[in-house]
Chain A
């Protein structure tokens, strides 16, 4: 697993950028396993709404999340043009639905600006920096914090004491 600190160590870091509801986000490319088209999921009862269900990824059962649901953003219909980024987070495979994948950008340390402070009202600790390249602004995301892993992966202790 890549250490987040290495993002800003020195030299250039590569990010995969994607769009959700018009905003451009960047994630560490080393966490990306593959990009694939959306396929029908098997719904699972008793899970938060942003967990769409599970799919079969070459024999592995992989949950699919939709961050647009989690952040109350506009949701497009799911079809074969919907893109799913399969990520490795904390040793687990998780698929994330996005509006579209843009490209891979290479950011030098000086192109990464510190994350804005929005005060206590908005918790945006998942933004670890802002990439500025060719006038674009890319929100660089710490996936572990963004997906709030405990939402997804932790065994619900309340149900299984």
Chain B
């Protein structure tokens, strides 16, 4: 393997890692309590900035190094308690994070963005750095060491400060300027040129020796630098007082001060935080398939072993039981690799809601529910854009301005609820707002303006569907947030491309709920195995309400319209599965078989099956990958014996029964 390939690989890793770090940084910044920042959180933000800086420096991405460096210095002061965190800092960091993200993607596509983009943020962050002394003056909180220092009669600043004498080797003017600029951020710096051409810097700072060495190491070889240190005496800040050498950078390895130890401990804990490895998705998929094969092989061995004499082969059978258990465990853990909690998507919304609401002069709070709901990685990535659009719509069109809300007897702050649940083989995502709701009149008006035929008798649902028409908007002005009428059209198309559906419920004055229903592709599902004839089908367990063995009095025929079953004061349509799927049945009398009552979207139906086989976790496999979508079938899975079993799509089965189908209509539907 040539070295250029290796560098390329590292480059990719750097981009992925940096993106994750930036996302993590944003999450932490949004969560941080400004009045009492958690030390560990500050450390984590600092580490993120530091890691990005290190990576960027390695690849020579100077613009990113510059920005992260300033962030890092500020964060360092904050985490050490030299500076108090303020909203200004958080906002500055968030802006810097956005710029870093742009710079990062610019470098990734080999189209570096201009330095002027970062200029504002750099100025902002430098301003923040310069406020440091003021901040300290205003600080009322003193930590233990400061109190101790105060008791001794010294001022805390002076007690913490050190004076470093840094002897530099021959350096270029640019390097020297860069170094002095960096060190200048850390404290009071003076510079003198020695007669032999070397330069000596005097730095009075609260930083430790390690930090100073670290800064210098960015530009120079640490071995060439000679640093001597002395504490600044409160009364005497004269340069001559710094002459006392305590430790030099060259032999610092031998120094085991308690500070060094604590720093090392911190570094270790930092390393423990990154408990993730990056794996190609194809590899994960391959692993899942291979484990599936293993499970099948294991099931085959089990089948054979069942025929062995239990007394003569006791040990073997015991081991096989252990093997079976281990294989199941292995399968479960491997399956979970591809699944990602919705939290990953939800986590990007708090900031968006906060910023957008502020921009529009509205007050909004975001509640997320069901963040632990797991969804396949592929779907997670594709759902982000539609969701973003819906949330944006909710804030822009849905929520009213605070005074309007108060006038309507609503809480001043609008609520947006994002939720995710598994519902019988689907993942249902909802974006709910308690805003103004959709205006039926203006939508109808706009629709007829657009040339869509409307009538007053149309149901609300039909009217709401107009929103999804291309180019449809009721917004009077086009803003940079919305109003171009492109959005909902695209949302609907994207979701349809994933095989999902979008629904809108809205009550004027009370809010709007947009429901996205996505089918599972590679989701894991608790399934109930049922047998009809020689075929085994799977019903999502979530959809199953109950199973019962009917008695003849329970079944009624509605002449020519099919059968119903009377279960606990309810008449539920009864479908004969063998009839629907044209299977040679083993039994046709409902009282000999089992009736499974299923429910989805608030509707119920009953299915007649021959028998129940069992219940197990299954991996939903997409039929469309190599084949196509089949009516009434949600997907397929592979059973323990290696055979393929089809998963029934309960909502679409319900659609058939809602038309109260007879034998004839079922066949018509099947052949259509």
A43 within 8 A of B: yes
CB of B668, distance to nearest CB on chain A (Å): 12
| Given A92-B625, A94-B626, 15 new contacts (CB under 8 A) | A42-B636, A45-B581, A45-B582, A45-B632, A47-B630, A54-B644, A59-B289, A59-B292, A60-B289, A60-B626, A62-B626, A93-B626, A155-B624, A155-B629, A158-B672
CB–CB B293/A59 < 8 A: yes
Partner of B626, one of A43, A44, A45, A61: A61
CB–CB B646/A44 < 8 A: yes
A132 within 8 A of B: no
CB–CB B636/A61 < 8 A: yes
A159 to B636, CA, bound (A): 19
With A56-B644, A59-B293 as contacts: A156 and B626 at CB distance below 8 Å: no
CB of B655, distance to nearest CB on chain A (Å): 11
CB–CB B672/A42 < 8 A: no
Q: Which of A44-101 contact B (CB under 8 A)?
A: 44-47, 53-56, 58-63, 92-94
A154 to B644, CA, bound (A): 21
Partner of B672, one of A47, A61, A93, A159: A159
With A42-B636, A159-B631 as contacts: A63 and B643 at CB distance below 8 Å: no
CB–CB A160/B629 < 8 A: yes
Inside 8 A of B625's CB, which chain A residues have their CB?
60-61, 92
Inside 8 A of B629's CB, which chain A residues have their CB?
155-156, 159-160
Of the A-B pairs whose beta carbons lie under 8 Å apart in the complex, a sample of 23, sorted by A's number, is A40-B643, A42-B636, A42-B643, A44-B630, A44-B633, A45-B580, A45-B582, A46-B631, A46-B671, A54-B636, A55-B644, A56-B642, A60-B621, A61-B623, A61-B626, A61-B627, A62-B626, A93-B626, A152-B627, A153-B627, A155-B628, A158-B672, A159-B631
CB of B666, distance to nearest CB on chain A (Å): 10
CB–CB B644/A45 < 8 A: no
B-side interface residues toward A, CB under 8 Å?
A: 288-290, 292-293, 535, 580-583, 621-633, 636, 638, 642-646, 670-672
Inside 8 A of A54's CB, which chain B residues have their CB?
623, 627, 636, 644
A158 to B631, CA, bound (A): 11
A58 to B633, CA, bound (A): 21
A-side interface residues toward B, CB under 8 Å?
A: 40-47, 53-56, 58-63, 92-94, 152-156, 158-160
Inside 8 A of A41's CB, which chain B residues have their CB?
644
CB–CB B289/A58 < 8 A: yes
Most buried by A among B628, B630, B645: B628
A158 to B671, CA, bound (A): 11
A159 to B669, CA, bound (A): 10
Inside 8 A of A156's CB, which chain B residues have their CB?
628-629, 631
A-B pairs, 8 with minimum CB distance = A59-B289, A42-B644, A45-B581, A63-B627, A92-B626, A56-B638, A93-B626, A59-B292
Inside 8 A of A152's CB, which chain B residues have their CB?
627-628
Inside 8 A of B288's CB, which chain A residues have their CB?
59
CB of B605, distance to nearest CB on chain A (Å): 17
CB of A36, distance to nearest CB on chain B (Å): 13
Inside 8 A of A94's CB, which chain B residues have their CB?
626
A92 to B627, CA, bound (A): 8
Most buried by B among A46, A53, A93, A159: A46
A92 to B535, CA, bound (A): 26
